[in-house]
Structures are given as C-alpha cells and as structure tokens.
Amino acid sequence: MTQTMYVPSIPAMSEFFSVKSSYLQAVMAAYLIPYGLSQFIYGPLSDRIGRRPVIMIGMSIYLVGAIVALFAPSFEWFLMASFVQGMGTGCSGAMSRTVTRDCYDGPELHRANSLVSMGVIFSPLLAPVLGGYLSTVFAWQASYVFLLVFGVVVTLAMLFWFTETLPVEKRRHERVMVSYRYVLGNRRFQATYCV
C-alpha cells in the first residue's frame, strides 16, 4: 500500500519539495529495493528468534520511516524515509508466507496463501484511490498520516493479539548462508523470480 498511495499526490509533492515530478519516481525504487533485500535478513532471523519479534522489529522500523516521511523537510529526507519504510515492510513480505506455513499445511495452506496473495494484489490497486481522495480533500501529507495511523494499529494488533507461530524447539540456528543456499537453490523460487 505504501508504495502506490503517494502516486496521485506526485504534482503536489513535486511542488512542495521543489523538484521535477520525474524525480518522485525514485521514491518507488527507494522503497522497493530495501523491501526486497531486507527479506533476506528477516527470513533467517525469524528462523532463529521467532516470527513475532521480527514482525515487531520490522513494524518499528516502518513507523520510524512513516514519521520521517510525514515531516520530511526536503526531498532527500523523504527519499530516505521511503527507504526506511521499505526496509521495515520487508518483514511483511517475508512473514506473510512464513506464518501461513507455520500454521497450515495441505489445502488449508493453499487457501491461506490465496488470501495473502489477494491482499498483496488488491492493496496496491486500492491505495492510489484512497491516496487521491485524501490528497484532494486534505493535502498530500494526509496519505502519510493514514499510513502512520494504519501502521500503529497493525503494530498494536501484532503486539497484543499475535501469538508466536514458531515454537522454540523448531527454531534453527544454522548459518545464514545455508538458508540462502536453500532458498536460492529452490526451483519454485527460481521460477517465480525468473519470470
């Protein structure tokens, strides 16, 4: 949601930061690159210390990024905030599949993964509509107020209602490179990312 909500606000943001609209395309890259790369950290870390602490770490990082984005005094600060937000939400990319795998198997796992996939597909489609509405009625910062409040709600929900899905006895303390070798050697992973 974070990576597409700002799109309708690009003209207002370019005026606010005194940069060309084309520069704001860098915001997407600044978000998506750490989002993807941080999953290589969150996955193995969650295998060691559990899912819940990793989710809380990721959400805390995201909230810091959201606050900085909301109050960014310059485009450079805003770009850095987007980087931090991407680094934080990388935990959701890693944990959304991991938690379902911890809790389900067989047909139930397929159903749970289908629901996760629907959320992943539809939230970036709905976010620009909501972002456009908020920026029209209020200002471009309203989208980031929404994202901050939404992030706080999710963090509190995880803090109070999410229970650990990886028991201590199932945690792995192998070297990270072993996990990377396993993931990068997995044919399903290779097929997904080669397409």
DSSP letter (8 states) at residue 166 = S
Q: What is the pLDDT along the chain (195 residues), one digit of tens a residue?
A: 777 888 888 889 999 999 998 888 899 899 999 999 999 999 999 999 999 999 999 999 999 999 999 999 999 999 999 999 999 999 998 898 899 989 998 899 889 888 988 888 888 888 889 998 999 999 999 999 999 999 999 999 999 999 988 878 888 876 666 666 776 777 766 666 665
Rounded-to-integer distance, Cα 143 and Cα 151, Å: 12
The answer to whether the CB of 9 falls within 8 A of the CB of 135 is yes
pLDDT at 192: 60
Question: pTM here?
Answer: 0.86
Rounded-to-integer distance, Cα 91 and Cα 78, Å: 21
- Give pLDDT tens digits for 140-150: 999 999 999 99
Q: Phi first, then psi: what are they for 50, rounded to 5°? A: 105, 165
What CATH homologous superfamily does 2-168 map to?
A: MFS general substrate transporter like domains (1.20.1250.20)
Q: Residue 35, Cβ neighbours under 10 Å: how many?
A: 23
Q: Helix 176-185 and helix 187-194: axis angle, to 10°?
A: 70
